[in-house]
Amino acid sequence: MTDDLWRLGVADLADAIRARRVTGREVVQAHLDRIAQVNGAVNAVTVVLAEQALAAADEADRAAASGRSLGPLHGVPFTVKENIDLVGSATTNGLTLGEALLPPVDSPHIAQLKAAGAIPIARTNMPDVGLRWHTGNALRGETLNPWNADLTPGGSSGGDAAALATGMTPLGMGNDVGGSLRWPSQCCGTAAIRPTLGRVPEHLSLSAGDRPMSIQLMAVEGPMARHVRDLALALSCMTGRDSRDPWWTPVPLRGEGAPRRVAVTLDPASAGIHPDVEAGVLRAADALRDAGYEVCEIDPPRVADARETWFVLLFAEIAEMLWPSLELVLAEPGKRFLELAMASGPRPGLLEYMQAFATRLTIAREWARFLEQYPLVLGPVSTQQPFVAGWDISGAHAPRELFGSLSLVVTVNLLGLPSLALPVGVANGLPQGVQLIGDRYREDLCLAAGQSIEERLGVFTPVEPRRS
Q: Which residues are catalytic?
A: 81, 156, 180
Tally of residues, the chain: 468
| Residues 206, 209, 212, 216, CA torsion sign | positive
With a CB cutoff of 8 Å and minimum separation 6, the contacts of 66 are none
* Half-sphere exposure of residue 121: CA atoms within 13 angstroms, side-chain side: 33
Answer yes or no: are the C-beta atoms of 382 and 438 closer than 8 Å. Answer: no
Residue 458's identity, in one-letter code, is G
Answer yes or no: are the C-beta atoms of 80 and 124 closer than 8 Å. Answer: yes
The span from the CA of 227 to the CA of 120, in Å, is 19
* 224 membership: H or E segment, kind and range: strand 220-225
The DSSP call for residue 388 is: B
Rounded to the nearest 5°, which phi and psi values hold at 457?
-110, -20
The DSSP call for residue 100 is: G
Residue 180's identity, in one-letter code, is S
Residue 1's identity, in one-letter code, is M
